[in-house]
Amino acid sequence: MASVTFDKATRLYPGGDKPAVDALDLQIEDGEFLVLVGPSGCGKSTSLRMLAGLEDVNGGAIRIGDRDVTHLPPKDRDIAMVFQNYALYPHMTVADNMGFALKIAGEDKATIRRKVEDAAKMLDLTQYLDRKPKALSGGQRQRVAMGRAIVRKPQVFLMDEPLSNLDAKLRVSTRTQIAALQRDLGITTVYVTHDQVEAMTMGDRVAVLKDGLLQQVDTPRNMYDRPANLFVAGFIGSPAMNLVEVPIADGGVKFGETVVPVSREAITAAADAGDRTVTVGVRPEHFDIGTEGGLTITVNVVEELGADGYVYGRTDKADGGGQDIVVRVGGRNVPEKGSSLHVVPRAGEMHVFSTSTGARLSD
């Protein structure tokens, strides 16, 4: 097993004037499960392909353990990749697909069979070893692709959105299986997804990218509790954090009809930057609903999920500038569509960001 280091790694495509990945600095520990997440076009798959040797590195370096692999061909990097479309050979059986890399490497048939059977048992594929990929479901094909990676016992697993072709229920069960399998094997894993729920539930740490730049890397809990900037705050969490631009007031910020206290340091930092407003972030579960004060929202949609409900409302233009707000409520006590609610953020549960730079101001 080995650590992975991106040392200011940069990828600039020919003809482009802006790097797809811009000086990526990232250290992935030995045995860690790290998830790269971000919107389409943010550079996450390019970063993974740079590590795999499928994309050139135009600046900086990439190391696996103590080896500089920046310019090594993929076959010399001791990595195994699981692709989005599984990339199985249709004319081969499951067993032949899983053992193909070992065959190319010159392993004897008995060793290949033993390693394939061990991996198949781990992935519950034993009964399918003699089938062709076309006779398998999407979830089974995905497990075959995983098995092909496992039998090689590489230093690093690379996974490029391996669950995107599965239905919603199967995605949930398979992501649990992948995370458990990685912990059992202890192999360093870099996993790319655009689904932040996948990122939060699978990774030991999560790295958020935007426009080729690393925004934040942290544990899922710390990223949820302390997003580094407005982009991360709006991206991590489902439903997303509510972000509302509010004026600075004496003792805090004016949230609708109520002055909500925030840290003196946050207000001072905003004032020093010349800002008269800040952007506050409030998770849907961190609102109190009252009969007066705060922001007044009109309920547009209510999602009843059993134990919880989510209210999607909107402020009027005179009270918050026509802002969309999401509030979590108890599943047994949901408001009527069209009704009005007064929502106030709980003390100590607000995140304060600079409106001008997007940087986090609160502790």
Give the tens place of pLDDT for each residue, 146-193. 999 999 889 999 999 988 888 888 888 888 889 989 999 999 999 999
Closest CA to 95 of 63, 141, 129, 53: 129
For the residues of 181-195, what is the DSSP string, one character each?
A: HHHHHT-EEEEEES-
pTM over the 0.85 mark: yes
| pLDDT (0 to 100) of residue 319 | 56
- The length of the chain, given as a count of residues: 363
Query: At the topology level of CATH, where does 4-234 sit?
Result: Rossmann fold (3.40.50)
Instruction: Give yes or no on whether 4-234 and 241-354 have one common fold.
Output: no
At the topology level, CATH places domain 241-354 in OB fold (Dihydrolipoamide Acetyltransferase, E2P) (2.40.50)
**Quick one: average pLDDT of 235-245?**
92
245, exposed or middle or buried, with CB in 10 Å at 0-12, 13-18, 19+? middle
Nearest CA to 231 among 208, 263, 248?
Answer: 208
138-151 and 168-185 are packed helices; what angle lies between their axes, rounded to 10 degrees? 10
List the Cα angle 187/191/192 in 5-degree steps. 165
pLDDT at 336: 85
In angstroms, the CA 15 to CA 18 distance is 9
The yes-or-no verdict on residue 316 having pLDDT over 80 is: no
Which tens digit of pLDDT belongs to each residue from 40-90?
999 999 999 999 999 999 999 999 999 999 999 998 999 999 988 888 999
- DSSP secondary structure string, 193-253? ES-HHHHHHH-SEEEEEETTEEEEEE-HHHHHHS-SBHHHHHHSSSSPPEEEEEEEETTEE
320 has a pLDDT exceeding 70: no
- Any idea what DSSP says for residue 292? S
The residue among 301, 299, 297, 303 whose CA lies nearest residue 331 is 303
Distance CA(265)–CA(299), nearest Å, equals 35
Cβ proximity of 168 and 197 under 8 Å? no
Name residues whose C-beta falls within 8 Å of residue 356's C-beta, 6 or more positions apart in sequence: 273, 274, 275
Domain definitions of the chain by residue range:
4-234, 241-354
SS3 55: coil
For 61, counting Cβ atoms within 10 Å of its Cβ (0-12 exposed, 13-18 middle, 19+ buried), the class is middle
- Per the CB < 8 A criterion, the answer to whether 96 and 104 are in contact is no
The neighbouring-strand residues paired with 308 are 330
